[in-house]
Copies of this chain bind each other. A is one copy, B any other.
Amino acid sequence: MSKDNYVEQITNIDDDFAKWYTDIVIKAKLADYTETKGCISIRPYGFEIWENIKNYADKKFKEIGIKNAYFPLLIPENLLQKEKDHIEGFSPEVAWVNEIGDTKLDERLCIRPTSETIICSMYSKWLSSYRDLPFLYNQWCNVLRWEKETRPFLRSREFLWQEGHTIHETEKEAKEFTLKMLEIYSDILENLLAIPVVKGKKTESEKFAGAKETYTIETLMKDGKALQSATSHYFGQNFSKPFNIKFQNRDGKEEYAYQTSFGITTRLIGAIIMSHGDDRGLKLPPKIAPIQVNIIPIKTNDEKVMNVVNEIYKELNGSYRIEIDDRDNYSVGYKFNDSEMRGIPLRIEIGPRDLENNKCIIVRRDTLEKIEVELDNIKNEIDILLKDIQNNMYKMCEERMKEKTSVAKNIEEFESIINNNQGFIKVMWCGDNACEEKIKKLTSAKSRCIPFNEEKLYDKCFCCGKEAKHMVYFGRQY
């Protein structure tokens, strides 16, 4: 019997969330562990989800004038050193190449943890006049960050991502672009992945190493932990000065460029699993599901049945991503479970009895509801159902996020919430990093962001009692 010749039970989501997560990663064949410790292999089914995210994002990027390019994987040590905060932030988890074959290199080369430094070195070479600006470049690539604890997709030593790097003539234009990218990311999360978001600005202590301002898309997973799902950074001239990215401005004077960077990663696949999945396995939003409709014949050896199955396939194929599960070495029951494990939004069941009534059964993955459908109305029904599933999955997440978002007026309330309900905790905050530190030590929760839509919950800082400056989202994080 083949290793994968049955659907194994997965851990219950309520018994052990972490185990439930990795069970789905492995059993839905999204990814697998490899002989390279801390690095995963993304299997075709998982990679197709990434391709669907990538194609959508890449189109959005190109619509606003971003162009793709490619920069070296390896960065000479002296380049990485140029921006102080940046190197401090990354050096502990950087992988170094210092041998080729059996000969030592004069200077170590690091594998990019991110590409600001090497890209800045090129921008300073390519830029000369304000007429050249803006540079709106992006690269889809792999990066390496040697995390101590790793988890598939969420925290992998190597991961795939997109890193956009732009330089602009003015501070205003660069800041606007930083926020424009955040809007594109929230569209990807909400409209493509059906995951509601909280948009906001990171506090000083949670900023990206080298950034002036970091904006973030925060999402809430089913276990009540927050996931930083996308970030967009405004660098000001923090990199353009050490890297000498200058241009002649409209007054004929030399000026340093204003810079941004922004990214999303394969971590989003983890967000999908932890936002939508259940005890039966993965649950994929139709828009990114590699297979949107799975046709399961109740009898593969019944010619009448197979004829109808093939007709339906012909009718739907091209309009939807569709698959017939006609494997004859698996039971129908297995195929149902398998279809649910893989999170396929809709499955069509057709057997001899259905044909007699000229009908078939369509089962929704999101609600598991069974719907009897006239054969000649299938396409129309599928179209309605897929749209409805996409919307319903978003709504279910949104309700859960509401339920799991609380207000804490003081440390005691904060602690009791974090230790019971978890989730997002909204507080008023004085703006002092000391309070963030204190809370982190007490509860291991961190500030997620200062939301764009701040509410005035109350007057004093929940932690120190001083005058409150901002409303902040806190939460434990991945």
Contacts and interface: CB of A to CB of B under 8 A. Distances in A.
A308 to B, nearest CB: 25
* Size bin of chain A's contact surface: 35 or more
Contacts of A75: 36
Given A67-B48, A72-B39, A129-B2, A32 B122 contact: yes
A34 B68 contact: no
A109 interface: yes
A436 B92 CA distance: 51
A185 B39 CA distance: 31
A100 B95 contact: yes
B97 A69 contact: no
Given A36-B72, A97-B97, A2 B128 contact: yes
B122 A74 contact: no
Given A48-B67, A158-B74, A36 B94 contact: no
A324 B5 CA distance: 58
A194 interface: no
A118 B32 CA distance: 12
A44 B118 contact: no
A251 interface: no
Interface string A112-134: 00000010011001101101100
A43 interface: yes
A136 to B, nearest CB: 9
Contact of A146 (B51, B101, B108, B111): B101
A2 B100 contact: no
B141 A142 contact: yes
A5 B128 CA distance: 10
B92 A101 contact: yes
A9 interface: no
* Stoichiometry, copies per complex: 2
Q: Which of A67, A97, A131, A142 has the most chain B CB atoms closer than 10 A to its own CB?
A: A97
Contacts of A76: 35-36
Q: Is the interface of A mostly helix, strand, loop or mixed?
A: mixed
A93 B99 CA distance: 10
A375 interface: no
B122 A34 contact: yes
A334 to B, nearest CB: 13
Nearest to A327: B131
B160 A70 contact: yes
A109 B146 CA distance: 13
A263 to B, nearest CB: 17
A96 interface: yes
A71 interface: yes
A411 B75 CA distance: 48
Nearest to A129: B2
A270 to B, nearest CB: 15
Contacts of A43: 69
A42 interface: yes
12 contacts: A4-B128, A32-B122, A32-B126, A34-B121, A34-B122, A42-B69, A43-B69, A44-B68, A72-B158, A95-B97, A96-B98, A141-B142
Would you list the 5 A-B pairs with minimal beta carbon distance, nearest first? A44-B67, A39-B72, A42-B70, A96-B99, A36-B72
